[in-house]
């Protein structure tokens, strides 16, 4: 009747510029129990991007084979390129008891939740409106169109917040990483993630009766 | 757009003998932010019980007046006596930002959840079957009937575990108190408990658009 710490699948979404990437890298670096999922894409690597680090870079044919063979947990198309989450790595890490982290926008997050009902959905936000505006405007070098596009995108993303399990405010990085870790730890103690333990306890109670 | 720490209503249930009472007292003693709700009852005080500490002891007439005036969040009858949760104390403490803890069995817990949809439901369990049996059997001085009754009760209580938000394993007291505190802290970061902040953020995004 022990709490069995099977891995949880964690989906991280949030406003662009909320610092999701840095946050996740720091989380994996600080604590032992995490594995970062690397997505597969058909887009070309940018200078400095490494195969298997930022993404797995594959051809359109290979990607579509993966779709056909149910090798992806979710996938989407942006600007004529495919992006998806390879299933095998995720499932192997969960089996090992690792908590696996994916960074996906809301549509993908909801698809993951359908396939993995115990997935934990976290939404990262900047601490306040001024900061949000600053981050959306970038370093002041962005065109009005780019800023407008980011604002529209942020509004769309904000629509879905209620679908998430937890909100994470990214103010100070170290604090936010600790906070995120303790929310994930808490998620291990929900009944739906401890079905086996509850079943065992009921069986034992019946035997005593 | 700051996380507003409004109080959460926390309902604690669990097997009798799981140590709920001690756990809650220790929690309130260890951390600042908690208030323990004291229930109202029509049963007579037992030797050593103090008015307003274990319970508020009232007459049947006073209790029924409270029911009529919607002065109780929930109430139930056991063995010809009423037990209930006075509303005023709970609401005043929540307004102050305190997290208010109630100890109620499952039927009451579900009634509370109906009236306070953001209430947090926690289920306390002993660490394993041997310990459970030991606690149900008491100090070896209990009659077979009493033990059988406790076992039936525990089985009934176990039926409802899936309705709870978190499971708390009471093995070592100090550790369990810390655990319970961090689960409650986590609960402050769900979207349904931060509606105001999310609304503000959406308004600010619209103004930027």
The secondary structure of chain B, three-state, reads CCCCCCCCEEEEEECCCCCHHHHHHHHHHHCCCEEECCEEECCCCCCCCCECCCEEECCHHHHHHHHHCCCEEEEEEECCEEEEEEHHHHHHHHHCCCEEEEECCHHHHHHHHHHCCCCEEEEEECCCHHHHHHHHHCCCCCCHHHHHHHHHHHHHHHHCHHHCCEEEECCCHHHHHHHHHHHHHHHCCCHHHCHHHHHHHHHHHHHHC
φ, ψ of residue B58 to 5 degrees: the values are: -130, 165
Q: What is the spatial distance between Cα B118 and Cα A30, in angstroms, rounded to a whole number?
A: 32
Q: What is the pLDDT of residues B145-159, one digit of tens each?
A: 888 888 888 888 888
- The alpha carbon of residue A164 is apart from the nearest alpha carbon of chain B, in Å, by 7
Which of the 8 DSSP states describes residue A191?
G
> Is B59 inside any structural domain?
no
| Residues on B contacting A at a C-beta cutoff of 8 Å | 1-3, 123, 125, 127-129, 132-133, 136, 148, 151-152, 154-155, 158, 161-162, 164-169, 179, 182-183, 185-187, 189-192, 194, 197-198, 201-202, 204-206, 208-209
| Cα-Cα end-to-end distance for chain A | 17
B72: its two tokens: 């109780």
Say if residues A123 and A167 touch (Cβ distance below 8 Å).
Answer: yes
Pick B129's closest partner by Cβ from A162, A168, A204. Answer: A204
Q: What is the pLDDT of residues B9-46, one digit of tens each?
A: 999 999 877 788 889 999 999 999 999 999 999 999 98
Say if residues A121 and A168 touch (Cβ distance below 8 Å).
Answer: no
Q: Are A208 and B133 within 8 A, CB to CB?
A: yes
Give A16-32 as a DSSP string.
TTS-HHHHHHHHHHH-T
- Is pLDDT larger for residue A166 or for residue B17? A166
DSSP-derived pairing of the beta strands A166-169 and A34-36: unpaired
The whole domain housing A162 covers 9-37+98-208
Q: Are B209 and A2 within 8 A, CB to CB?
A: no
> Is A164 inside any structural domain?
yes
Say if residues A51 and A57 touch (Cβ distance below 8 Å).
Answer: yes
Q: What is the spatial distance between Cα A51 and Cα B159, in angstroms, rounded to a whole number?
A: 50
Q: What is the spatial distance between Cα A163 and Cα A159, in angstroms, rounded to a whole number?
A: 9
Looking at beta carbons, which residues of chain B come within 8 Å of A138?
A: none
Q: Are A201 and B129 within 8 A, CB to CB?
A: yes
Sheet holding A99-103, edge to edge: A34-36, A99-103, A9-14, A120-125, A166-169
Question: Which secondary structure element, helix H or strand E, spans residue A84, and what is its range?
Answer: strand A81-86
State yes or no: pLDDT of B3 exceeds 70: no
Of A74-88, A193-207, B3-17, B35-49, the poorest mean pLDDT is in B3-17
Question: Which secondary structure element, helix H or strand E, spans residue A78, and what is its range?
Answer: strand A72-78
Q: What is the pLDDT of residues B150-202, one digit of tens each?
A: 888 888 888 899 999 999 998 899 999 999 999 999 999 999 999 998 998 88
CA nearest to B185, candidates B123, B65, B99: B99
| A to B CB pairs, distance under 8 Å | 120
Instruction: Out of A130-134, A138-142, B176-180, give the one with best mean pLDDT.
Output: B176-180
What is the pLDDT averaged over residues A127-146? Answer: 76
Pick B208's closest partner by Cβ from A133, A187, A209. Answer: A133
B32: its two tokens: 């600042």
Q: Are A162 and B192 within 8 A, CB to CB?
A: yes
Q: What is the spatial distance between Cα B157 and Cα A202, in angstroms, rounded to a whole number?
A: 10
> Is B199 inside any structural domain?
yes
Instruction: Out of A5-14, A101-110, A177-186, give the one with best mean pLDDT.
Output: A177-186
Please give the model's pTM, rounded to 2 decimal places.
0.90
A129: its two tokens: 């409106």
Q: What domain count does chain A have?
A: 1
> Is B60 inside any structural domain?
no
Q: How far is CA B200 from the centre of its chain?
A: 31
> Is A86 inside any structural domain?
no
- The alpha carbon of residue B163 is apart from the nearest alpha carbon of chain A, in Å, by 8
Pick B204's closest partner by Cβ from A129, A148, A164. Answer: A129
Q: What is the ipTM of this complex?
A: 0.88
> Is B188 inside any structural domain?
yes
Q: Are B158 and A183 within 8 A, CB to CB?
A: no
Torsion, Cα A157 A163 A169 A174, to 10 degrees, reads: -110
B38: its two tokens: 């004291």
CATH number of the domain to which A162 belongs: 3.40.50.300
Q: What is the pLDDT of residue A129?
A: 72
B64: its two tokens: 């029924």
C-alpha distances in angstroms, B84 versus A61, B57, B70, B114, B128?
66, 11, 11, 16, 31
Q: What is the spatial distance between Cα B122 and Cα A145, in angstroms, rounded to a whole number?
A: 49
CA nearest to A137, candidates A126, A148, A129: A148
Q: pLDDT band at A134, cuts 50/70/90?
A: confident
Looking at beta carbons, which residues of chain A come within 8 Å of B209?
A: 148, 151-152, 155
């Amino acid at each position: 009747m022990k709490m069995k710490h099977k891995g949880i699948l964690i989906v991280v979404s949030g406003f662009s510029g909320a610092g999701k990437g840095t946050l996740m890298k720091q989380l994996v670096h600080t604590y032992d129990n995490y594995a970062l999922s690397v997505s597969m894409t058909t887009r070309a690597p940018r200078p400095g991007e490494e195969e298997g680090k930022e993404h797995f870079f594959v051809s359109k044919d290979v990607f579509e084979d993966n779709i056909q063979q149910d090798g992806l947990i979710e996938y989407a198309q942006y600007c004529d390129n495919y992006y998806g989450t390879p299933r095998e790595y995720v499932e192997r890490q969960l089996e090992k008891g690792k908590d696996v982290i994916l960074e996906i926008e809301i549509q993908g997050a909801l698809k993951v939740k359908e396939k993995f009902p115990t997935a934990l959905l976290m939404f990262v936000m900047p601490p306040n409106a001024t900061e949000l505006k600053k981050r959306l405007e970038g370093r002041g070098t962005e065109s009005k169109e780019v800023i407008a596009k980011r604002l529209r995108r942020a509004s769309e993303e904000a629509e879905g917040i209620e679908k998430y399990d937890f909100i994470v405010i990214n103010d100070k990085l170290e604090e936010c990483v600790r906070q995120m870790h303790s929310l994930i730890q808490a998620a291990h103690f929900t009944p739906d993630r401890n079905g086996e333990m509850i079943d065992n306890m009921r069986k034992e109670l019946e035997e005593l009766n």
